Structure 1
Amino acid sequence: MTTQKRHPKNLLRFLSLGLIGPWLLWLSGCSTVQVSHDYERQADFSQIQSLSWLPAEDQTAPKAVDFAKDNPLIAKRIEQAIEDQLPAKGLKLVDADTDSDAYMTYHASTEKTVGSSPFGTSIGMGTGTGSVFGGVLWRTNPDIETQNESVLKIDLLDQNHQLIWRGTGTTVLPDHPDTTTLDERIHEMVQEILQQYPPKP
């Protein structure tokens, strides 16, 4: 009777497919944006079909108009991303001097925070004499690192400029994101935030 040896490379491939594969699939399926929302329960959102940007003098801090002065390029990306998502919600953007059903504005900020990776990424493998065995070792100590946490809030206000809906999104940006990354992250944030609108009682 012959005993078939299992080659260490085959074992490594097996373990990689069995353990690393699902982990990578889990990561790729996770959104990079954490979202939440709140709203005025008495508001009738079914009556809102048109929106206009809230005038600067009626905005509350941190004002979108102030953010746009300091970050004009990012502000344009945010505003364009919001406008792009409105038709999917049955909403249209009208000029400020046109009567609209409601108003909208946003608040954007980025802060340096201290974060940590929830688990390590190193794997240890081992082989023994006579027979082959594999040992898998996950490094469980979290990696402490600083990160840029960006927060975007999108507000809807009634005709009296009273807040009736707020959607909030939080994501982490690299230290020096390129234009493609900024476009993708901002569109993702806006899309994830507005997916919560209209609120479901």
Structure 2
Amino acid sequence: MQETITFFSGFSTPDLWFLADAALKTLWISVLSISIGTVLGGIFGWMLHEGKWMAALTVGSILDIFRSVPLIIQLVLFYNFAPMVGLSLDPFASGVVILTIYTAALVSNVARGGIEAVPVSMRKASRSLGMSYWQDLRHIVLPIGGRAVFPAWIGVVLGVMKDSALVSVLGYVELLKASQILITRTQEPFLILALAGAFYFALSYPISRYAAKFEQRWAQ
């Protein structure tokens, strides 16, 4: 009697754990990239504000490239170009590098907007009270400017978290890549995509809710 070979199998509990693990990988690469990118973006935003036209021609031009070129092209080009210059990076490291620079490029405009949102008269008043330049940035610009651009920064965070799905083109098994693997095996695209969407919602919704509450508390 000839054996029947089954190429496809239905969705099972281990598959759900596989998706959950991929969601954690999505969260990890997002947190790492957003954290470093936010710090770099804040520095670049400060440079763009203070450097005026000179910074706009140098740093600003480079950041414009990363804002303008589709993220998927950046990922593929960097992953294939890195070995040519002696960098041996796996898909995760390559994804972190590009997502970090991409985040920094987006946050730089947000940070510059936050600095420029602080009235010049208020900054002059702080300096007349004896504050140093750095004290003015810390005690005046950061609280007031940060409050003004906090919603925009949250938008960047949520956007980068969703854009992290593009790292799947490099072979990194995050949530989208795991979904594609399961769809190929189970042939249940509706169920798999619905679960993937639920995981993305579970990652994004708490951030949105906490940000809204934090903004309300900040406004009081």
User: TM-score, length-normalised on structure 2?
Assistant: 0.25
Q: From the CA coordinates, give the structure whose radius of gyration is larger.
A: 1
More strand by share: 1
